[in-house]
């Protein structure tokens, strides 16, 4: 069964009613960030499975590879963005209405 245009319209109306129009941009932004992180993680896992020719695939004394540094910075930036988002949201919530 193929969805009709009015099915999609009803679904969008239900989503807006459930979450509210104010929160939808935040939700879509967070979903987009999550998708980007997931995509990079999947890519890095595929790259880990197929090491480049001429590399031994050994790790240093810390047990981490050179690829861990960019991944850690990506995860750190996502956490920083989430904290910043929560701080802004708390500021907006506590700010008196004009």
Please state the domain extents for the chain.
Answer: 21-47+66-93
Record the tokens describing residue 12, joined without a space.
Answer: 């969008």
7/40 Cα distance (integer angstroms): 33
The CA-CA-CA angle for residues 19, 27, 40, to 5°, reads 155
Per-residue pLDDT of the chain (98 residues; tens, 9 = 90+): 787 889 999 998 898 888 888 888 888 899 999 999 999 999 998 888 776 566 555 554 555 555 555 555 555 566 677 777 777 777 776 666 55
Could you give the angle at the alpha carbon of 35 between the alpha carbons of 12 and 23, nearest 5°? 40
Rg (CA), the chain: 21
What pTM did the predictor assign? Answer: 0.38
pLDDT of residue 78: 63
Position 36 scores a pLDDT of 95
Look at residue 81 in the predicted model and tell me its pLDDT: 73
> What is the chain's percent helix, strand, coil content, to nearest 5?
70, 0, 30
Helices 24-49 and 5-19 sit at what angle, rounded to 10 degrees?
110
């Amino acid at each position: 069964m193929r969805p009709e245009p009015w099915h999609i319209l009803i679904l969008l109306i239900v989503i807006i009613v459930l979450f509210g129009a104010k929160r939808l941009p935040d939700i879509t932004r967070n979903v987009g960030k999550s998708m980007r992180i997931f995509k990079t993680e999947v890519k890095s896992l595929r790259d880990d499975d197929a090491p480049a020719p001429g590399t031994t695939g050994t790790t240093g004394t810390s047990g981490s590879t050179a690829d861990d540094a960019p991944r850690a910075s990506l995860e750190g930036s996502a956490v920083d963005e989430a904290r910043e988002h929560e701080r802004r949201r708390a500021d907006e919530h506590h700010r008196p209405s004009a």
